[in-house]
Chains A and B, each alone.
Chain A
Amino acid sequence: MIQDMLQSSPGLGNFVIFFILGLVLLLIVLGFVTFSILAERKVMGYIQLRHGPNQVGGRWGLLQTVADVLKLLLKEDIIPKLADRPLFILAPIIAFAPSFMVLATIPFTENFQFADLNVGLLYYVAISGMTVFGVLLGGWASNNKYSLLGGARATAQMISYEIPLVMSVLGVILLSGSLNLNEIVEAQKNGWFILLQPIGFIVFFIASVAELSRTPFDLPESESELVAGYHTEYTGFRWAFFMLAEYVYLFAMSALITVLFLGGWMAPFGFLDFIPGSVWFSIKFFFVLFVYLWLRSTFPRMRADKLMEFAWKVLLPIALGNIFLTALIKSLFF
């Protein structure tokens, strides 16, 4: 349906339809973010022998995040006197917009995808790289020393880890012969890339944790060192936008891992095909999500200098070696 519409001539009617579709996706994503925050708090709570939220919205605390968001929207919006006002206002938007844009290209099921781009993967990586501007600007514009340090750390970390992230996924591209995410899923019909590309997967996963700046790579925020890192001075809905960006990326990254390495919407075995693709996608997706939460509640934080060392001296050589190995295997066996 969307393919037909993309090829139809531009007009006001089409614009309205696309706008509404975008709005619907935004609402779905916001709904997901609401519950992924709840899931994070619940999972961490259970690991930490607590119950997690259980007051607002029944005993599972289903409305807790909604209440939190309402609170954030009602809060006073503080802009520090000596902050760089235009940049301070702009930063959360720059940080959030790309996180939502990358969702367009992810194929959730065979039919449910917004833009079937031929360079889907490249688009994802390129657009997600923009968020770092928002973070850096936010850190700079706040005119706060902690924010500045956090912003600088975030920039260094995200730029360094983007390289192993892309390099590790090159193996997948070599094997599937395409940058189109749909075709990458199709190429996994006979075996998921997690089995064919175990090294690539591990490197990609580690780099993705760093990209999302979650524990053990949560240096940009590093609560116990930099108070709150780049968003120390942000309050209310501006702060909410930074948080939203973070969780939308969590959503996007989990989806991307599912697509790239876990076979997307496809069933693991042929005889399980009767279960719809959306169910398979969600199962895999939630598993990846759980692993992220699990890591977060187990590990301490890495140190900034070791973090950079790890990216450049460990992950990058491994990723490059993986490309070489994959190319060798591809030319010999396929």
Chain B
Amino acid sequence: MLGLAKGLKYTLKQLSREKVTYDYPNEPLPLPDRFRGIQKFYPEKCIVCNQCMNICPTECINLTGKKHPDPTKKGKIIDTYDINFEICILCDLCTEVCPTEAIVMTNNFELAEYSRDMLFKNLEYLDENDENVRQVNKP
């Protein structure tokens, strides 16, 4: 009986303790800077080195480049850049290998959509995703 009484005392004490639940959709969750959310992509920084595409463990990144419109300059610029968020596991490896920090993580994580097609995010979407961008990207 003593054990039961101890348990009852413990739960009674909890009645007045601080609540631990968040008022989530109304108040945003505080997240640390390192949090890995939907990527932000800077098209102007990208040098089309294909490293992110190669390192991606789930092969969810697809990109194509085109020749630089300015004939005097060498190299390529980005043409299309798609991430398939159906299979992206937000593992951070693409930002880790990117030599120019053209792709970085943000703190946005709300990816729920009504249709699977909506989970294909293209260059425009990733470019416009410019809130809560991660400050420090390389260790």
Contact = CB atoms under 8 A, between A and B. Distances in A.
Q: Say if the two chains contact directly (CB < 8 Å).
A: yes
B18 interface: yes
B7 A299 contact: yes
A50 B19 contact: yes
B14 A49 contact: yes
B15 A51 contact: no
A297 B11 contact: yes
Given A299-B4, A299-B7, A294 B12 contact: yes
Contact size range, A = 10 to 19
B8 A49 contact: no
Would you call the interface of chain A mostly helix, strand, loop, or mixed? helix
Interface in B1-33: 4, 7-8, 10-12, 14-15, 17-21
B20 A50 contact: yes
Nearest to B15: A46
A49 B11 contact: no
A288 to B, nearest CB: 15
B8 A294 contact: yes
A294 B19 contact: no
Contact of A48 (B8, B12, B14, B18): B14
A47 B18 CA distance: 10
B21 A298 contact: no
28 contacts: A46-B14, A46-B15, A47-B11, A47-B12, A47-B14, A47-B15, A48-B14, A49-B14, A49-B17, A49-B18, A49-B19, A49-B20, A49-B21, A50-B19, A50-B20, A50-B21, A51-B19, A51-B21, A294-B8, A294-B11, A294-B12, A297-B11, A298-B7, A298-B8, A298-B10, A298-B11, A299-B4, A299-B7
Given A295-B8, A297-B11, 14 more contacts: A46-B14, A47-B11, A47-B12, A47-B14, A47-B15, A49-B19, A49-B20, A49-B21, A50-B19, A51-B19, A294-B8, A298-B4, A298-B11, A299-B7
